[in-house]
């Protein structure tokens, strides 16, 4: 067990990187990508639950938003820094604002 601990301590995750199609991917990029995808999935789940409410009048708009989010989730790439950044800076605050308004 102490050998594993010393190995873990020697790894500097900030220096983790990999080239994908000649794009340098760093650890923070992986984390940002995963945070973005996780929040997209949460937003889809939230809206899916909301649209099941029979009293909701804008179900078609919500379904269109769900379709848009599924497309974004399915096509977001880890090396697409601009779109990952857009999700982090725009979509996640929109989602949090929506959830807070419930």
The pLDDT value recorded for residue 19 is 61
Q: Is the pTM of this model over 0.95?
A: no
CB 87 within 8 A of CB 72: yes
The pLDDT value recorded for residue 99 is 79
Distances (CA, A) of 32 to 18, 66, 70: 15, 21, 18
Q: Which residue has the tokens 């078609």?
A: 60
CB 36 within 8 A of CB 88: yes
DSSP 17: E
Q: What is the pLDDT along the chain (102 residues), one digit of tens a residue?
A: 333 333 334 434 444 455 666 778 888 999 999 999 999 999 999 999 988 887 778 888 889 989 989 999 998 888 888 888 888 888 888 888 887 876
């Amino acid at each position: 067990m102490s050998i594993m601990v010393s190995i873990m301590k020697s790894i500097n995750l900030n220096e983790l990187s990999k080239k994908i199609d000649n794009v340098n991917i760093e650890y923070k990029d992986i984390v940002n990508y995963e945070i973005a995808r996780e929040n997209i999935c949460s937003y889809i789940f939230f809206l899916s639950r909301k649209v099941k409410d029979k009293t909701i009048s804008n179900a078609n708009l919500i379904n269109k938003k769900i379709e848009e989010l599924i497309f974004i989730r399915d096509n977001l790439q880890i090396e697409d820094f601009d779109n990952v950044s857009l999700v982090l800076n725009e979509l996640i605050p929109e989602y949090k604002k929506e959830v807070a308004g419930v």
